[in-house]
Amino acid sequence: MYLGRFAPSPSGPLHFGSLVAALASWLDARAAHGRWLVRIEDLDAPRTQPGAAEEILRTLDRLGLHWDGVVVYQSQRTELYRKALERLHDQTYWCACSRREIADSSLGLAADGAQIYPGTCRSGVAPGKTPRALRLKAAGAIEFIDRVQGRQTQLLERDVGDFVLERSDGQFAYQLAVVVDDAAQGITDVVRGADLLDSTPRQIHLQRLLGYATPRYLHVPAAVNAAGEKLSKQTGATPVRGRQDLRRALAFLHQPETDDLAQAVRAWDPGLIAARRAQAAAP
């Protein structure tokens, strides 16, 4: 059975960019006669806005994007992440490098803008230095077919470098949490924004190390403003107003515009979605 999910971060109200991802994943699940789950990614406490999760859920419900089962909160699942890290013990090491040190020795910038870590601490933390993050050794080429963006290939050690799974303060990284949660929930299909496309090879690498199945992926263009900035709370994205935003989201996805969600499900065609990383959101 098809099992999809929408996993927003509760850093503010649902905005248009998040609505596009939610609607695409909901339509894909319903068109496949599958189940659609909602998971709140609230691991990053400083970015979590009080009441935002509840407001996001109310907005989804008001728009008719009803979910199946109970809502899962990442902040309540840390024991699962800890157990996964224990299984990865032989593939991880502690790193004491500061951001400045990483920038000074970086192999360049990854596609998502992060510094590519050169593996400085692979042989051990230098005496007198304090560990800052637990990193996973990245090696090998990862290739997959995205249902919209097509064939994707990434050489992990060249394009990403060893990446963080946990901070020294106990904060688990998104890459680890999302992989563990998708596997635990039995997710078969991940539909989300293309701003996360370059994270997918790292997640597939983790899935293989942990013995998890790899879901199918479909990345829709990330919605950006006139300045080319991804819509977010930080770039001043306005909250979703109502069902008129559903029509805008359908148009953004190049689907027939309608106020009838049942009709939108029947007409759903991922082949119409533009195969691009980002796309301007119409006012």
- Give the tens place of pLDDT for each residue, 117-159: 888 999 898 888 899 999 999 989 999 999 999 999 999 999 9
Spatial separation of the C-alpha atoms in residues 38 and 44, rounded to whole Å: 17
Phi, psi for residue 113 in degrees, rounded to 5 = 90, -5
On whether the CB atoms of residues 2 and 188 are closer than 8 A, the answer is yes
Beta pairing class for 3-6 and 216-220: unpaired
What is residue 227's predicted lDDT score, i.e. its pLDDT?
75
Superfamily grouping for domain 88-167: Glutamyl-tRNA Synthetase; Domain 3 (3.90.800.10)
**What is residue 235's predicted lDDT score, i.e. its pLDDT?**
63
- Between the CA of residue 237 and those of 13, 29, 225, what are the distances in Å? 9, 27, 8
Q: Where are the domains of the chain?
A: 3-80+175-280, 88-167
What digits encode the pLDDT tens for the residues 56-115?
Answer: 999 999 999 999 999 999 999 999 999 999 999 999 999 999 888 888 777 777 767 778
Which residue type occupies 106? S
What's the pLDDT band for 47 if we cut at 50, 70, 90? Answer: confident
- Please state the pTM of the whole predicted model: 0.94
Q: Does domain 3-80+175-280 have CATH number 3.40.50.620?
A: yes
User: Over pLDDT 70: what percentage of the chain?
Assistant: 98
Q: State the average pLDDT for the chain.
A: 93
Beta strands 3-6 and 35-40, pairing class:
parallel
Give the DSSP per-residue string, 134-177: EEEPP-SEEEEEETTTEEEEEEHHHHTBSEEEEETTSPBPHHHH
pLDDT for 233: 65
Confidence of residue 198 (pLDDT cuts 50, 70, 90): very high
Nearest to 10 by CA among 43, 49, 45: 49
User: Token digits for 188?
Assistant: 């078969």
270 within 8 A of 148, measured Cβ to Cβ: yes
11 close to 47: Cβ distance less than 8 angstroms: yes
